[in-house]
Amino acid sequence: MLGKQAWKLQANPGNLITRLFKAKYFSRSDFLSSSIGHNPSYVWRSIWSAKFIVRGGYKWSIGTGYDIPVWDNRWVSDGSVFTRPLQLDPMLSYLNVSDLLMANAKKWNMPLICSIFDNSSATKISQTPLLESVVEDKLIWRLEKNGHYSVKSAYRYCINEAIDTTGLQIPGQWNKIWRAEVPPKIKNFIWRLCRNCIPTRARLIQKGVNCPDICALCENEQENNLHIFLLCNNAKEIWKSVGWWNTLQTHLQHNNIADIIFSVLQVFNSDQVSLFMVLLWSIWQQRNDKVWRDKVEPFQHVRARAINLLTDWKGAQNHKNLHSQQRQHNTAICWSKPPTGRYKCNIDASFSKQQNKVGIGMCIRDDQGRFVLAKTEWLSPITDVDIGEALGLLSALNWVHDLQLENVDFELDSRNVVTSFHIVFWK
């Protein structure tokens, strides 16, 4: 959330809060170039500490290019940064992106670019699209397709790129858990169990909670993960009732519950993995019923609860999948005529990596399905699918406007573009 506030300070310079902070802490620069300053407030120190997130996630959308420095800024399509060379001609030290464009057209000046940059950098620049529809330089969030900051993508950036999380990672085939055919709450429970986040009495005492450490079910030994789920006499009865105790014993050589779970998942088939995970959850429910309701459940009930939960969930999933397949089968994909008195313009985009181009095709038909007009065009360089489809829609809108046609419906096959268009329209 601090990253979100930091992003607003950089991306929304006209915002009242941004103007207040700028006046006090970075009046002569932007947020990314700011220092923490003398005697900063707690709020400013907190937001400033998240500056690395903004620095890693921003990118310039090129309008005129006048406000975008060439060096040490993200403006090429892949988000890379060109560091200012140490032995650079002073005349080139303060280049803006606008200096790399043709004088009379929004196109890259490739002879100039090739004379300044190496071949790899020049290729990156040539593959960065210059869109006529973008008229102002604007900061966008490069980690989301819509260019808007999201906490989710910022978190992924921190975990995968910005922060060293190797000390926090627990080795194991986590995909075995995430791909298991069990309800999401069971996956979450197993993840917490492997991360040692289940509040057993031993774990609560480690966290400073004053509570007894004896197992709530057998009242003989300390209640930790290994005991409550595997070594307790109650747990043994449950595993024996499904015929797995002998198998589990061979995995008890591992010294923690996570290693045991990952080891067991390696040898069980998919159905056994599902039941194993749900039984662990059911044992924890049995323990909680004893602690909070003073309710003693026999092992048969624990096993039955797990089996019933798994059966009901799989039945619901099968019904959902069957219903979805029926809907897809009943919904035939075919072109339909527009309403009487209207036209329909169909748009599609194609992408050629060999030619580094986006091809756009448009076709207009009347309310009887008769052909009226068609048009094709090519755009360079290649873009991702959503941008290419959006450019196709923009081109079709301009074309229909030039034709002075009215009552035109537009149809394309990109759900993301259609949804984004309606969101912006209804705002």
| Beta carbons within 8 Å of 278's beta carbon, 6+ residues apart | 182, 186, 306, 307, 309, 310
The number of helices, as runs of H, and strands, as runs of E, in the chain is 18, 6
HSE-CB for 195 with a 13 A CA cutoff:
12
Query: What's the pLDDT at 328?
Result: 62
- Expressed in angstroms, the distance from the first to the final Cα of the chain is 25
Split at pLDDT 50, 70, 90, the class of 92 is confident
> Does 354 have pLDDT greater than 90?
no
User: Comparing 30-44, 166-180, 236-250, 303-317, which segment has the lowest mean pLDDT?
Assistant: 166-180
Per-residue pLDDT, 105: 87
Percentage, residues of the chain above pLDDT 70: 96
**pLDDT tens sequence across 243-269:** 999 999 999 988 889 999 999 999 999
Over 90: is that where the pLDDT of 204 sits?
yes
Q: What are phi and psi of 126, to 5 degrees?
A: -65, -25
Q: Which has the higher per-residue pLDDT, 13 or 190?
A: 190
pLDDT digits (tens, 9 = 90+) for 272-287: 999 999 999 999 999 9
Res 275: pLDDT: 96
DSSP lists the bridge partners of residue 108 as 101
Q: What is the mean pLDDT of residues 357-370?
A: 93
- Say if residue 146's pLDDT is above 90: no
Q: Which two tokens stand for residue 392?
A: 């196709």
Q: Is the pLDDT of residue 375 over 80?
A: yes
pLDDT of 426: 60
Identify the residue whose tokens are 């091809």. 359
At residue 322, the pLDDT reads: 73
pLDDT (tens digit, 9 = 90+) per residue, 45-56?
Answer: 999 999 999 999
> Quick one: pLDDT at residue 380?
85
Domains of the chain in start order, with CATH, are 2-162 (no CATH), 175-327 (no CATH), 343-426 (3.30.420.10)
- Residue 410 clears pLDDT 80, i.e. is over it: yes
pLDDT in tens, 300-334: 999 999 999 999 999 998 887 776 666 665 555 68
Question: What's the average model confidence in pLDDT over 134-139?
Answer: 90
Average pLDDT along the chain? 90
Bridge partners (DSSP) of residue 344 are: 365, 409
Instruction: Return all residues near 143 (Cβ < 8 A) that are at least 6 apart.
Output: 57, 150, 153, 154, 156, 157
Put simply, whether the predicted model's pTM sits higher than 0.85 gets the answer: no
Work out the average pLDDT over 156-175. 82
Helix, strand, coil tally for the chain in percent (to 5):
50, 10, 40
Judging by beta carbons within 10 Å of its beta carbon (0-12, 13-18, 19+), is residue 124 exposed, middle or buried? middle
Lowest mean pLDDT among 90-94, 113-117, 198-202: 90-94
Q: Distance between CA 302 and CA 283 in Å, rounded?
A: 6
Tokens found for residue 356: 């580094």
Spatial distance between the Cα atoms of 58 and 48, rounded to a whole number of angstroms: 16
**Residue 343: predicted pLDDT:** 95
Question: Would you tell me how many other CB atoms lie within 10 Å of the CB of residue 372?
Answer: 13
